[in-house]
Amino acid sequence: MIKRVYFQNHKSLNFDFFQNENDFIVEEMPIEFTLKGNFLILKIKKVNLGTWDLIDLISNFLRIDKNEVGYAGLKDKNATTTQYISIPKRYSKDIKKFKHKKVQILETYLHKEKLNIGDLKGNRFKINLKKVDFDTLILIQNCIKNIKKTGMANYFGFQRFGRDIEENIEKAKQLVSGNLHIKDRKLEKMLISAYQSAFFNSWLVKRISLQKDKFKLIDGDVFHDLKKDKFFTSSKITSTLEENFDKKVVCPTGLLPGRKVFKATLKSREIEERFDDSSIYEKGYRRDALVFVKINNIKYNKATQECLIDFILPKGSYATVFIENIANKNFNS
């Protein structure tokens, strides 16, 4: 798997980072619910329990198909996480009887629709770094200032690819070429998604290597208008476009290869086509090359040498990538 690289110029930082219920806390920032409708939204706090495990528990308890349970995003297992799921309103009374030592239903809301992937504004993280000496703390603070200014490289984290990364990528290649057939549609889509994500990560490494202090815009880039949530391409990088990029109004995007996807042109396409595969039959996407992190707080305990970072990321981006960015090294490859 290709090594993810970042804008940082400092040497790799040494500190401990663990994903567990005390040091990795995540809370979904939900969309606005209609407060009426045929679906019941459950705000759930869970400890050391993955989203799929939660869905299994809920569907088995209610004796319903897993597809009737909606969710906005997948959350890490080794963590304390708060997330929202939906069930049909007709199970409102039954769900009140649900009890599990790892799950707490905090609140419920009515909504007009079943929750789907992406139905959230972002995620708030509280992550505790350990064995952080004072000199390292200063470097972390400086690094975060730089990330706030330039944006964070929006790589897919190692979680996207599964445990056997190289094996999964190879299976995806065989699927695309027609040399492998898998009956499990969910597994098939997961493998293809990992394959698409690997192309994006490789493209992002190449683009960051063009200019180490800031993302370099290129003629023909496809941009995401962050306010209008629309994509557009520019044949020439103008001063206005550069200014809007600096203001975080627009963001360049990278390709997840597939069908029916907006592709770059001109010089940008010359790079992008090296990380494309027209034989991928799943739908393609564009992904923001950078994300802009909101830092709520940084707390340092000198006695224990622990640094707690409270921050918000847009949906679809990875807290582990943010920590990698700070450390300027890959945790898993």
State whether residue 114 is helix, strand or coil.
coil
Catalytic: 65?
A: no
R_g over Cα of the chain: 21
Of the candidates 84, 149, 150, 90, which has an alpha carbon nearest to the alpha carbon of residue 121? 84
DSSP H or E segment with residue 173: helix 165-177
The CA distance from 266 to 207, in Å, is 15
Set 16, 56, 76, 94: catalytic member: 76
Instruction: Give the residue carrying structure tokens 């505790």.
Output: 128
The whole-angstrom distance between residue 211's C-alpha and the CA centroid of its chain comes to: 24
**The two three-digit tokens of residue 266, written as one number:** 């001109």
The CA distance from 34 to 108, in Å, is 12
The single-letter code of the amino acid at 116 is: N
| Residue 279, Cβ density class (10 Å: 0-12 exposed, 13-18 middle, ≥19 buried) | exposed
The CA distance from 311 to 198, in Å, is 26
The CA distance from 315 to 310, in Å, is 16
Residues assigned a catalytic role: 76
